[in-house]
Structures are given as structure tokens and as C-alpha cells.
Chains A and B, each alone.
Chain A
């Protein structure tokens, strides 16, 4: 499952005139109040317009509000002050969410130009290229991600995503042996990964391993059946 995680960075380090507003924004973000966060970070950015962190956080809050154009403007302002890889990643995420994979891939590329070891951007770029049917480039992006040296649990998880991405590309190419191997590796780390389970089942089917295929697919189907149900409707009573 692709998680487009914007990188919020650490606590806002500003000690300037916008610090108090930024603090309020951070607390609002933590409380899940994106509208209040957006207003607070806008104040902070107004008070300290040359502080990129305020613009990044403003972009983050606006993105949560799905105010895409406004979020893009905030990130671009941040990039004009400090062209950081994580800001490019967040900006690219917006284009990804809006289905503009070409633009998103290009901006993830800018993040990687600044930080070639940025595994999350590597994965996101690979997924964009996958959506664009640029198979060789997508596979290359996922391979480079897998060759990276993860520095954190999060980056190790990203590499699992990259393995899944690569496996899904091999699947599309009809290389079901490679797809099955990749999905087995993903499931070894993340047994509840629903998409990997499904790909593995279909790969087994294509390889003629029907009993194993059926087993994997049934596990997947069971997981899908027990997924979320809307909580607000009760089953109509018998009358």
C-alpha cells in the first residue's frame, strides 16, 4: 500500500517573532485541527517570511485541508528559501495525489538530486513511474532504493515498499517467478500486507501452483472481508 507521507520534520526551531504562532500551529497539527494549524502557520510565516520551516508546515496543514494550490504555493516559497529534499518530496506528493504523475516524478527527481540516499523519495518516484507505465525507469528506481543503506526503521519499511514495487513491476512484465520471490520477501517482513498477498496468489496461479495460489488468495479475500465497515449504519432490524 502506498503511503504518501509528507515529511514534517522536527519541532519548529524558530526562536524569532513567529515562534509562538508556530508553536500554536504545531499543537493544532498534533491535535488534528488542520484549519487552526493552517491559520497559525500562516501567521508565523507572515511574521517571519524568511523562515522556510513556517512555509513547510503551512504547506503541510494546507495539504491536509486539501487546499492543493495553496499548499503548492507554500512549499514553493519554502523551496525558494531553502531547497531541501524533504520539501521537494512533500511538494511532489501533492502532484501525485492529484494524478499528475509526470510532474510528481520530476519533483521527486529534484529531491533525489539533492539527496540520492533519500529512500522515501526514491520509492515515491518509482511508484509514479509505475503509474506512468515507464517500466524500466520504475524498476530502476525501486532497485536503487533497495541498494540504499537504511538508517532508520522507517527507511527499512520504505525498502519493503520498494521490494513490493519491484515485485509488482515484475508481475506486470509476466515474470511471475521474480514477482513471487519479491512478494514472499515482503510478506516475511509484513505478513499483513494485503496487496503482496494478492500478487503472490496470482503469481502462484500463473506458475501453476494452484493449491498455494488458492491458499494465498483466500487469506487475502478474508482480510478484505474483515476490512473497515462504515460504523454509522446499523443492520436493519427484522420486521
Chain B
């Protein structure tokens, strides 16, 4: 066993103690869930605290009439601790419109630590002082500490050149995309970071959507250049695309570090070299790295709109092989390609293998692929109870998270249609939709519990990104949901919980955040597995922290970490209800 240390961050312990004191409880480590669980059992109660938190800002996603495909994708967001004070801050991307291509600036909100009387933290707009505020038409946000200097940097996906904002470590950022070689000019929506070649720094995959220009395509209701009739969907006149629009080529940037020592990293387009250039490009909307075969390196899954999805097996030498078809991951159970939007991974059935959940267009089901190993997946959407309820919804961001702390990861999904015109006639769906929560029953099935999970899931909007984070340091996960042309929803979980544990990593030989590390705990005789990632499904990022629900267990008997470098860390008998920070041994 290598040396390591573990400690709860001071600020977190303080907040926990204050919360307990306010609740009339005794000394720590009594968690919010301990007394409550004994009283009433665990519950989920998501409450919209957006206004109370000071996040009452509209995210512009495009023209509300949705005349063009670019008006429909919406904007993402990211949780990141940009100032290193231990709590999640929030970055909100902003879009634009055809008439105003320089849109409102993206915003950075600092979590001000001090909660109000109801425990809701306040957020303050610090965009200007941080040197941020990109006005290009932004979509996704992909956060990573690409330079391993202990602070998170920002990669912004735009229609137009993407941005890379280096965190200067003093609360400000500097834009260096062009110098670093990652100012990709295509229309990017999502990106994912991991250490593909296991050299200790993070590489970047960018999912590009379509090559779009207003003047090249007819607006909704307009004929094509050759007099083709306007585009329709289920007898409704709608915007055109993406089929037969030219796909945007995805790009893989290998991080070659900072050989000059000038603070500017060198990223090299290694798409072809890595085996990630396909014969036919597709309409990428989301990308996710995850270790599907548990061999210590990450596979790559790319969710495409309207065409087959891609699954790239990591050969272990920094190159990949596309294998979606035989893996059963290109199409759904019936062999249909789906219009996929969001991606999430979790070991939902507790067998140690990471499974995959996709969100899709309306009049098609969301997809749950069970990992039957090695590189063999089975679409179990209907058997697992996800298929039928999702059929008429159009879903985007999704997240596995153990909301009720019972040791099984539940599934939360953000929904909303792309066509406002669907409301003009009965089609089984609607433009604004409720988001969905499925409770993991622990036997391979899920049950939808949207109606009983608190008023926060009652709002009806056209939602897009969905990203979890514990905003108030109470040990349960809260969620930010972005909404097309509306303010986001900050959903704070005020339910009563069982015990919990969070694990954050500090790499030395591995990348600093431990992205790609596998974290496994044993508590109450059960093993639970997570992979450290900042990816948050669709167009979003979150904190690189593994969150575990423990139910009645007060002790985690065993915590095992397999680092991307291949080294291992093990700890025994950890008390519940705290965040543990594990440092990778620096030796060989």
C-alpha cells in the first residue's frame, strides 16, 4: 500500500457542523440523514431554489421560433471549483440569435459559501473579474485541469472557434485556445477529457454536430434551393435537419504538455492517428470516456443525432478500434438508429461493470445498455422500466446519482422538445416537458418516481443539460438543469437521507483530478463502483467526485482506488458522512 492521506476539507466540516447545530443535533459526525432516517426513512425532495441562490438569469439558446436547427440545441453549464475554496461554482453558457450573433456573455457565478436561513447558498456573478464572458454562440462546457496545476480550466464549445480558458490560479482566466491548438472552428456541442495515452495529462475529444450556416439552408417553412417542399415532422412544418446536413468532423486532441514551459500547452490533432477518424462522419452531440472492460483505460462512446452511435475500444496504446456494431451499441434493441443526445454511465446493477444510459428523441425510447462484458452490451430499456415512460419525451441530459442514498444509483433525465410547433397538434408530446426521475429498485429495474420527488420536478420547460453537485455540502446531490431560453433550475435536495461518502482524488503520477480512476467501496457487504469523471452527459461538466449512498451503514469497510497510472490505493474502515480526499502515492 502506498502512502496517502485522507481528510475532509475544513470548510465542508464547518458547514456540516453548523448545519447540525442549527438542527439541534449533537456533535458531528451525525449526518443530516442519521436522525432523519431513523424518524421517517429516506426521501427525495427536490426543491427549486434558483432565485434564492441568485441565479435568476435567462440562458439564451436561439430564436424562440426555432427556424433553424441551431436554435434548438440549447446551452450547457458546468460545476467547477474555480477558486479552490471547496464548493462548486457555476459556469452558464449563453447562445445567440441570427439577428444578434454576438450573444449575451457567458456567466461565471461564485458560490459564496454563506447559506441563507433555509440553507441555500448564494451565488455572485464574477464573470468580469474572472476575465470571462465569451459572446460567441456557446453550447457545451467541458472542464478539466489539463495542465495539472490543481485548478480547473474551461473548454467552451461554440458555433465558431472553441475557447480554452486557462485558470490562472488567482480567480482569473486567460483564453489560449488558438495558441494551444484547440480553437476548433466547427460547431461543437460536447467534449470529453481523459488521459487516453496514460502519460499523466488529459486529452480531449470534441463532438461536433453539423456544418451549419444560415445562408446555406432554408428556414422553417421555406422551400429548399431546388424547390423542395419545406421540412416537416409528423405533418408539422418544422426546421430542417440534421439529416443531409453535412456532419461536423469530431476531433481528438492529444495533450503533449508544455514542452516550452511558456504556460501554453501543445495539443495535437491526433484523430486519425488514434483511430478515431471514421469513414463517414456523424452528427455528434455527446461524448463519454468510460472504462467499459475494466482494464484500466477508457473506451469512448459518442452519441450521434439520427445515425448510429459509435463505440471505440481503447487498445491500450493510445489508439482505438470502432466496435459499436458487434458490441450492440450502435443501434437499439430492434436495430434502429436513434437520435441520441445525452450519455451517462454507472454500474446500475452492481456487478462491477459500467453500464450506459442514452437519451433520445421523442417517439423513441431512452436506452439502457447493460454491460454483459467484455464489449458486449444488451439493450434492456424496456425490461428495466425505462423504455415505456420515456417514449414520448425528448430527452437530453441525464445523470446516474444515488438520490435516496440506498446504495443504488437512480437516473434523472432532462426533457424538452426541439420543435415549439409540436404543441400545435396532438402528437403525444409537447415542447415543454417535465423532467424524469427513475428510482433504481436494486434488482435491475427502475420505477419512475417523478411525481413524488418534490416540487422541483413539477416545472415544465424545454430542458437541456443536467449536472449534479452537492451545492450546500450536506452530503446529498443537488442538480442544475439548463432550459432553452429560460432561466436554469437549481434543484436542491431537501429530503431525508441515509449515510453517504464522497471521494475526491489528487493524482501525482496520474492526472491531478484522477479522471478515469475507478473507485470501489465495500459497505454493509456490498460493493459499489464509480469512475471519476467531470463529464455530465450533454454539453456539461461537473466535479470529479465519487458520491456514494450508504443507507444505514456508518462505516465503509474498504475503499479501493485504481488510478489511471495503474497504481492502487486502499483504505479501511472509513467513517461515513464525509468527503475523503485520497492522494496518489508519488513513488513508482
- Residue pair B334, A99 in contact (C-beta under 8 Å): no
- Residue pair A202, B337 in contact (C-beta under 8 Å): no
Evaluate whether A233 and B334 lie within 8 angstroms (CB atoms) in the complex, with A99-B391, A218-B325 already known. no
Chain B residues within an 8 Å CB radius of A132: 388
- Which of B187-195, B421-429, B435-443 lies at the interface? B421-429
In the complex, B225 has a CB within 8 A of chain A: yes
Chain B residues within an 8 Å CB radius of A131: 382, 387-388
How far apart sit A236 and B326, CA to CA, in the bound complex (Å)? 33
What band does the interface of chain A fall in when counting residues whose beta carbon is under 8 Å from B?
A: 35 or more
Q: What's the minimum C-beta distance from B368 to chain A, rounded to whole angstroms?
A: 13
- Residue pair A224, B326 in contact (C-beta under 8 Å): no
Task: Choose among A98, A199, A231, A232 the residue that contacts B428 (Cβ–Cβ < 8 A).
Answer: A98
Task: Choose among B211, B229, B308, B336 the residue that contacts A232 (Cβ–Cβ < 8 A).
Answer: B229
Task: Choose among A68, A199, A213, A233 the residue that contacts B241 (Cβ–Cβ < 8 A).
Answer: A233
Chain B residues within an 8 Å CB radius of A225: 280
- Residue pair A232, B335 in contact (C-beta under 8 Å): no
- Residue pair A217, B326 in contact (C-beta under 8 Å): yes
- Which of B242-250, B396-404, B571-579 lies at the interface? B242-250
Residue of A nearest to B427 (CB): A66
In the complex, A81 has a CB within 8 A of chain B: no
Chain A residues within an 8 Å CB radius of B333: 168, 171-172
Q: What's the minimum C-beta distance from A73 to chain B, rounded to whole angstroms?
A: 14
How far apart sit A195 and B211, CA to CA, in the bound complex (Å)? 31
Q: What's the minimum C-beta distance from A177 to chain B, rounded to whole angstroms?
A: 16
Residue of B nearest to A206 (CB): B376
In the complex, B119 has a CB within 8 A of chain A: no
Interface string of A102-124 (1 = CB under 8 A from B): 00000000000000000000000
- Residue pair B231, A232 in contact (C-beta under 8 Å): yes
How far apart sit A65 and B388, CA to CA, in the bound complex (Å)? 24
Chain A residues within an 8 Å CB radius of B245: 233, 236
- Residue pair B217, A220 in contact (C-beta under 8 Å): no
Evaluate whether A99 and B388 lie within 8 angstroms (CB atoms) in the complex, with A66-B427, A234-B224 already known. yes
- Residue pair B426, A234 in contact (C-beta under 8 Å): no
In the complex, B328 has a CB within 8 A of chain A: yes
Task: Choose among B234, B240, B425 the residue that contacts A230 (Cβ–Cβ < 8 A).
Answer: B240
- Residue pair B388, A66 in contact (C-beta under 8 Å): no
Per the CB 8 Å criterion, the residue count for chain B at the interface is 45
Chain A residues within an 8 Å CB radius of B35: none
- Residue pair B426, A68 in contact (C-beta under 8 Å): yes
In the complex, B213 has a CB within 8 A of chain A: yes
Q: Which of B389-434 contact A (CB under 8 A)?
A: 391-392, 425-428
How far apart sit A236 and B217, CA to CA, in the bound complex (Å)? 8
Q: Which of A36-66 contact B (CB under 8 A)?
A: 66
How far apart sit A220 and B235, CA to CA, in the bound complex (Å)? 28
Q: Which of B318-344 contact A (CB under 8 A)?
A: 325-326, 328, 330-331, 333-337
How far apart sit A194 and B336, CA to CA, in the bound complex (Å)? 9
How far apart sit A221 and B211, CA to CA, in the bound complex (Å)? 24
How far apart sit A234 and B245, CA to CA, in the bound complex (Å)? 7
In the complex, B39 has a CB within 8 A of chain A: no
- Residue pair B331, A224 in contact (C-beta under 8 Å): yes
How far apart sit A234 and B243, CA to CA, in the bound complex (Å)? 10
Chain B residues within an 8 Å CB radius of A133: 382-383, 385, 388
Q: What's the minimum C-beta distance from B6 to chain A, rounded to whole angstroms?
A: 43
How far apart sit A22 and B226, CA to CA, in the bound complex (Å)? 39
Task: Choose among A69, A172, A214, A233 the residue that contacts B224 (Cβ–Cβ < 8 A).
Answer: A233
- Residue pair A224, B426 in contact (C-beta under 8 Å): no
- Residue pair B308, A221 in contact (C-beta under 8 Å): yes
In the complex, B118 has a CB within 8 A of chain A: no
Task: Choose among B235, B240, B328 the residue that contacts A233 (Cβ–Cβ < 8 A).
Answer: B240
Q: Can you add 10 more A-B contacts, CB < 8 Å, to A229-B244, A230-B244? A: A66-B235, A67-B426, A131-B382, A131-B387, A172-B383, A198-B335, A221-B330, A224-B336, A233-B217, A233-B231
**B contact set with A: CB distance below 8 Å:** 211, 213, 216-218, 223-226, 228-231, 234-235, 240-241, 243-246, 280, 308, 325-326, 328, 330-331, 333-337, 376, 382-383, 385, 387-388, 391-392, 425-428
**A contact set with B: CB distance below 8 Å:** 66-69, 97-99, 101, 131-133, 168, 171-172, 194-195, 197-199, 202, 205-206, 210, 213-214, 217-218, 220-221, 224-225, 229-236
13 residue pairs A–B, Cβ–Cβ below 8 Å: A66-B425, A67-B426, A97-B428, A99-B391, A99-B428, A221-B308, A225-B280, A229-B244, A230-B243, A231-B244, A232-B223, A233-B218, A234-B226
* Top 9 A-B residue pairs of the complex, sorted by shortest distance between their CB atoms: A198-B335, A232-B228, A232-B224, A233-B244, A230-B243, A195-B334, A217-B325, A236-B216, A230-B244
